[in-house]
Structure 1
Amino acid sequence: MGLLGRIPGWAVPVAIGVLVLLLPQVIGDFSLIRQVQLGLILALIVSGLNLSLGYAGELAIGQAAMYAAGAYTAGLLSLRGHTEILLHLLIAGAVALVVGTVTGIPGLRLGSWSLAMTSFFLVLLIPDVIAVFREQTGGRNGLSGILPPTLFGRPLTPDDYYLVIVVVTGLWFAVMRNIVVSRHGTALRVLKQSPVLAASMGISVFRMKLLAYALGAIPAGLAGALFANLDLYVSPEAFSFSLATTALAASILGGSASVYGALVGAFIMQFGLNQAGGFERYSLLVTGAFLILGGVALTGGLSSLAHTLWRRIAAPATVPERVERVQAPDMPDLRGEKLKVAGVAKAFGGNQALDTVGLIAEPGQVTALIGPNGSGKTTLLNMICGFYRADAGTITLGAKNLEGRAPHAVARSGVARTFQTPNIPPGITVLDAVMSGRFATHSASVLEAVLRLPRYRRVRRDDFAEARRMLDLVGLRHLEASEAVALPLGQRRLLEVARSLVAGPGLLLLDEVASGLDEDEAAGLADVIRKVRDAGGTVVLVEHNFQLVLSLADHIVVLAQGRVIAEGTPDMIERDPRVMSEYLGTVPDDSASPIVLGDLVDDAVGEE
């Protein structure tokens, strides 16, 4: 690692913050100082948008409405003689949080693009809402007569107020950074990558998206309070649709999945549009140009480009050393639970995917579920996980009835799974990817994460310890600092196994987990599965590698055309004529020598 690589990640933002703080002493240009203040206020709005869009993957432009709510709250407080800026910030942030929560619930409940449309109409309604309450807000003429702000009863000079804006902005970005680099930030990235993956890990998709949207409302409310006390006048024109598009353009240009990208994009838009002030009628055109530039020419925004360049300069590429496989540690004891699927049926339109399927998986055993493509194996796993509702039948885990529960509730009941295609969000390390598997079962609040309270530190410390133990188990410990999504397919599959095991599930569902593994990786995977079984875990293995199934399974269930056609020990299934017919399309002659399915599979593979 080079000299630059030893510089802490927070050092550069802090240094820039100090320079901005001292700017009035260096430059006395009032117009420039005002543009910096407006740029910081816009950055607060954009940071809230980044939380919902860049991290949770939910497009919503309602921050303009929260900005208006904060501004009018501060203005009305001032008109009633309450000029304390800290009081304005506190109440404006709370009001914005309420507005964000109330408007976010219906949009998220309806799903799909509903929140985007809800927030879009919310912005369009701002002038009308202000006009309805014109006796309090001044209507379309604006709210005037706002008194100069005070801090602890002392009037603030323009230079003092500049410091207030810089400090408030800096504190919020410190809060946002703590959220983003915490386990909550990783959970948001998982949610953005795939709501299905998030739900399978016990993350409530609705609650997590609402959390991101509601938290993103707070900085917009703070920005509104700061703006009202800057100009001492609030007008509906300040919260137009143009503001919403400017914030969106700044987010995309700076980098929506970035903490400090909000600052970069906001200052570019603020100073860029100010230069185009003489062409006010073309302001939307200018904003659109920035939006297209950021969306098309800069994938990930300027912050992503800067991050890539920094990594190349600070940590030059090196040739990785070959790492020899070491003896994996033992699996800690697991409290496996009995899975019982009885008479389950599921139809999609006229297609009967499952027809009165039954399966029992015992703790301390590997139960294999095999069958040709389209036989209903993954459909059954999805029903166990709560993604599909059964038309008939029951699914229980221990004493718990899983049928009818939401997917995240099923996961919290002790069900963990892998997917046919490894699903790993970009931008997180191998270690973080495994740690994310503990998010729902070992919780710490957002407030504890922001303030780094002892309970959060304890949970975080346990997250690191358990994640590293699982990486040791699957042989990926030496890659813990690598970007997870950049791993080869085989290692990503092993990573998913580690993520599924880290919370100590009562039931582990493995969906074609050996697909794409080389011989050594498959052997390592088989070792891991045996350790899980020997530790008392309940394992259901869906796999096309028949030799792997025979070597691992204690009990095998065979599906074909949505029905169970055979079940029993590996020896029984290996010689079952119905299974041979489904796999090879032929039935052996009873008078001939006994034929073993595993031998036929080997011969077929050898001929390819």
Structure 2
Amino acid sequence: MASLWLKLRAIPGWVWPLLFAVILILLPFIGAPYPMIRQVELTIMLALIVSGLNLSLGYAGELAMGQVAMYAAGAYAAGLVSKAGNTDLLFQLLVGAAAALVVGLISGIPGLRLGGWSLAMTSFFLILLVPDVLSLFKSETGGRNGLSGIRPATLFGEMIDSRTYYVIIIVVGILWFAAMRNMIVSRHGIALRVLKQSPVLASSMGISVFRTKLSAYAMGAIPAGLAGVLFANLDLFLSPEAFAFSFAMTVLAASIFGGSASVYGAIVGAFVLQFGMNQSTNFQEYGLIITGTFLLIGGVAFTGGISALARLLVRRADAAARAKTGYVEAPASEAIVERREGALLRTDNVSKAFGGNQALSDVSVEAKPGAVTAIIGPNGSGKTTLLNMISGFYRTDQGTITIDGQAVHGLSSFRVARSGVSRTFQTPNVPEKLTVLEAVEAGRYARDRSSILAAVLRLPSYWRVTRDDRIEAERALALVGLSEQRHAMADSLPLGNRRLLEVARSLVGSPKVLLLDEVASGLDEDEIEVLASLILRLRDSGMTVVLVEHNFRLVLRLADVIYVLAQGKVMAQGTPDEIENNPRVMEEYLGVTPEDEANQTGGHHE
């Protein structure tokens, strides 16, 4: 039984949805009744709309309910084009998608710029405005009376009959979900999942938070527009009531119940709602109550929706089957640290204040290629603040930060990352719902750029970048000793391994400057040895390494030069020997006075 399960799991994941779609296509040809055919058509349209919401909510982490307005834009655009005499369905699909995209951008740009709940409120009011907009252009749209006179659609000059139109609806759904699936499983989908959990982490990897969210929102407008075109040509009549607020709640309920962070969760949620509660004669009267109940059940009983529950069960079945068959993950080959190009990092008289607290004052640090530059100091001395300023998360109040002479202190964090600066965090920032391998691959997002279109169409550039991402991620995991855990879930790792995972993610993009923030904290002795050996190898390869660390003995072992911060100022700088023999550093940093040291020395001689 276990071996059979593993054989089934070896079948490509896209085969099962395609098989399901083929079964749906065959329904009218095997005598399925018209009411069932009608429900399938409406379900596919609902699934298209929900999939757009899943992109913005489930993957980008932005609650945007404007899909209904985009749905209306696509429908009315197709209806008006048809009334004007152009009944070609392919042309209408292009026009409908473009109209939805425009509406999405108009509502999305202001909301995303403001952040937080602004997009949700903007899209919410957009839905409420739909009837008023239709009434405003009553002569064109028919206002509250609806748009009639839509002509039957044609394809390549031929009239489309009802059976053919049903197949077209299914095919449009297949093509869209294939495109969405291709994008989600690519590096762009991984970037969205990283962004949803932590915009800070995403920025540190070179991901533009605004542009990535906007692209997800814009892409999510397209299926809503396509659904609108299909709906307009279904009954050849459009009523404003079809785009009411209650329908927006239905879309949201389908997304939550099916699973918002899932490609096929949109289909599951749409089928549940369309074939479930919409079959009830009482639904029209109690629609909002029933929808609210579905939202509550989906949010509480099925965290992540039905699709998340299904993924959990599949992972458990995988683990059980591998345990029974004695399956062992093949270890990755040993990685070699290749020659790397470091960069000269300088901070000159950098200062930063938060309110009345002067975090940094006239701090000047120089980190050279092929050297480990350590920054030490007591808690609150400004070490992490300095790293955040180098990374672009904080702006300098005064002073400059340069990399090979190029100023970066005015750049946003994602642009600093793209200039060759990579970092770890004091508290490991590990993405959820990604494997260890995927989490490391995400670190290459700013390298070897590949477009969303290339991912959707599986162009040669996509395969090249995907191959390189996998090779470099495997190599980075081998460097930190995590190769055997590459298919484990990243958020399941213990603290020490999470820190090593962060190091691997920071290395995979071949940065010029590597910022390590207390990376040895929480590691055991063996892990510290792996880390120390890696840092020395990176230094010898030519990389610029900046190490912020509390483990003083580790710092003395690894550093070529040490800067000591105290109360936001550079108290001392020098070689490890100079710092270790500096009485002021010993007293400020370690709490050891010259008298204590003398007593310890005297006691030793006795």
State the TM bucket, normalised to the shorter chain. over 0.9
Q: Deviations over 1:96-127 (max 9, x none)?
A: 11221222111111122211111111111111
Q: Which residue of 2 aligns with 1:391?
A: 397
Q: Quick one: distance in 2 between partners of 1:414 and 1:334?
A: 12
SS in 2 for 1:387: coil
| Alignment-mate amino acid for residue 434 of structure 2 | I
| Alignment-mate amino acid for residue 246 of structure 2 | S
Q: Which residue of 2 aligns with 1:437?
A: 443
Q: Which residue of 2 aligns with 1:280?
A: 284
Q: Quick one: distance in 1 between partners of 2:379 and 2:528?
A: 21
| Alignment-mate amino acid for residue 235 of structure 1 | S
Question: Is this contact kept in 1: 2:332–2:484, CA < 8 A?
Answer: no
Q: Which residue of 2 aligns with 1:32?
A: 36
Q: Which residue of 2 aligns with 1:552?
A: 558
Q: Deviations over 1:15-69 (max 9, x none)?
A: 1111111112234311111111101100000000001111111110110111000
| Structure 1 pair 323–37 and aligned structure 2 pair: CA distance change class (3 A) | closer
Q: Quick one: distance in 1 between partners of 2:153 and 2:207?
A: 43
After TM superposition, give the deviation of residue 311 of structure 1 in Å.
2.9
- 1:456 and 2:462 aligned: yes
1:183-582 equivalence runs, <5 A: 183-316=187-320, 318=322, 328-582=334-588
| Alignment-mate amino acid for residue 149 of structure 2 | G
Superposed CA RMSD: 2.0
SS in 2 for 1:355: strand
Number of residue pairs matched by the alignment: 597
Q: Quick one: distance in 2 between partners of 1:79 and 1:269?
A: 32
After TM superposition, give the deviation of residue 335 of structure 1 in Å.
1.0
| Alignment-mate amino acid for residue 233 of structure 1 | F
1:130-141 equivalence runs, <5 A: 130-141=134-145
| Structure 1 pair 78–583 and aligned structure 2 pair: CA distance change class (3 A) | same
After TM superposition, give the deviation of residue 383 of structure 1 in Å.
0.5
| Alignment-mate amino acid for residue 203 of structure 1 | I
| Structure 1 pair 540–321 and aligned structure 2 pair: CA distance change class (3 A) | farther
After TM superposition, give the deviation of residue 313 of structure 1 in Å.
3.1
Question: Is this contact kept in 2: 1:4–1:313, CA < 8 A?
Answer: no
Question: Is this contact kept in 2: 1:252–1:300, CA < 8 A?
Answer: yes
TM-score of the pair, normalised by structure 1: 0.95
Q: Quick one: distance in 2 between partners of 1:545 and 1:560?
A: 17
SS in 2 for 1:566: strand
Question: Is this contact kept in 2: 1:418–1:513, CA < 8 A?
Answer: yes
| Structure 1 pair 595–386 and aligned structure 2 pair: CA distance change class (3 A) | farther
Q: Quick one: distance in 1 between partners of 2:331 and 2:547?
A: 25
| Alignment-mate amino acid for residue 74 of structure 2 | G
| Alignment-mate amino acid for residue 398 of structure 2 | A
Q: Quick one: distance in 1 between partners of 2:227 and 2:59?
A: 21
Q: Quick one: distance in 2 between partners of 1:93 and 1:591?
A: 75
Q: Quick one: distance in 2 between partners of 1:18 and 1:539?
A: 55
After TM superposition, give the deviation of residue 3 of structure 1 in Å.
3.1
Q: Which moved more, 1:51-60 or 1:429-438?
A: 429-438
Q: Quick one: distance in 1 between partners of 2:174 and 2:117?
A: 33
1:1-12 equivalence runs, <5 A: 2-12=6-16
Q: Which residue of 2 aligns with 1:163?
A: 167
Question: Is this contact kept in 1: 2:148–2:236, CA < 8 A?
Answer: yes
Q: Deviations over 1:120-165 (max 9, x none)?
A: 1111111111111111111111000111111111111111111010
Q: Quick one: distance in 2 between partners of 1:365 and 1:327?
A: 27
Question: Is this contact kept in 1: 2:330–2:484, CA < 8 A?
Answer: no
Q: Which moved more, 1:73-82 or 1:311-320?
A: 311-320
Q: Quick one: distance in 2 between partners of 1:591 and 1:103?
A: 67
| Structure 1 pair 327–43 and aligned structure 2 pair: CA distance change class (3 A) | closer
- 5+ residue gaps, structure 2, are none
After TM superposition, give the deviation of residue 595 of structure 1 in Å.
6.1
Question: Is this contact kept in 1: 2:65–2:123, CA < 8 A?
Answer: yes
After TM superposition, give the deviation of residue 322 of structure 1 in Å.
9.6
| Structure 1 pair 315–590 and aligned structure 2 pair: CA distance change class (3 A) | closer
Q: Quick one: distance in 1 between partners of 2:188 and 2:321?
A: 30
Q: Which moved more, 1:32-41 or 1:267-276?
A: 267-276
After TM superposition, give the deviation of residue 4 of structure 1 in Å.
2.7
SS in 1 for 2:71: helix
Q: Deviations over 1:360-382 (max 9, x none)?
A: 11110000111111111111100
Question: Is this contact kept in 2: 1:69–1:92, CA < 8 A?
Answer: yes
- 1:22 and 2:26 aligned: yes
1:116-131 equivalence runs, <5 A: 116-131=120-135
| Structure 1 pair 383–124 and aligned structure 2 pair: CA distance change class (3 A) | same
1:22-171 equivalence runs, <5 A: 22-171=26-175
| Structure 1 pair 332–184 and aligned structure 2 pair: CA distance change class (3 A) | same
After TM superposition, give the deviation of residue 290 of structure 1 in Å.
0.3
TM-score of the pair, normalised by structure 2: 0.95
| Structure 1 pair 67–321 and aligned structure 2 pair: CA distance change class (3 A) | closer
SS in 1 for 2:44: helix
Question: Is this contact kept in 2: 1:56–1:192, CA < 8 A?
Answer: yes
Q: Quick one: distance in 2 between partners of 1:584 and 1:155?
A: 85
| Alignment-mate amino acid for residue 587 of structure 2 | S
